[in-house]
Copies of this chain bind each other. A is one copy, B any other.
Amino acid sequence: MKEKATFYHAGCPVCLDAQNAVESIVDRSRFDLEVIHLGEAPDRLAGAEAEGLKSVPALATGGQMIHLNHGADVSALKN
């Protein structure tokens, strides 16, 4: 069974650069990579925050939240 990796972003330029890199490097034979646009799926925000999300873009895997560069704080994604 594959491990899960989740890439969280918000469509920002920094996010898209990071998404390209993540989609390129992640070993898809071992990881199921899910890409979540939190602007389009705001219902995923609470769960992401519970996983440790502070800013986007970020990659959650193996119980860790890895923030990749810095596009926007989570607070900027809330209305």
Copies of this chain held together in the complex:
2
Interface size class of A (residues with CB under 8 A): 20 to 34
Those of A16-32 within 8 Å (CB) of chain B: 17-18, 20-21, 24-29, 31
The listed residue (B17, B18, B20, B66) touching A21 by CB distance below 8 A is B66
Residue of B nearest to A54 (CB): B69
Asked whether B24 lies within 8 Å of A25 as measured between CB atoms, the reply is no
> Secondary structure of the A side of the interface?
strand
Given the complex of chains A and B, what is the CA–CA distance between A22 and B59 in angstroms? 11
CB of A4, distance to nearest CB on chain B (Å): 11
Q: Which of A3, A21, A61, A62 has the most CB of B within 10 A?
A: A21
**Does A37 lie at the interface of the complex (its beta carbon under 8 Å from any beta carbon of B)?**
no
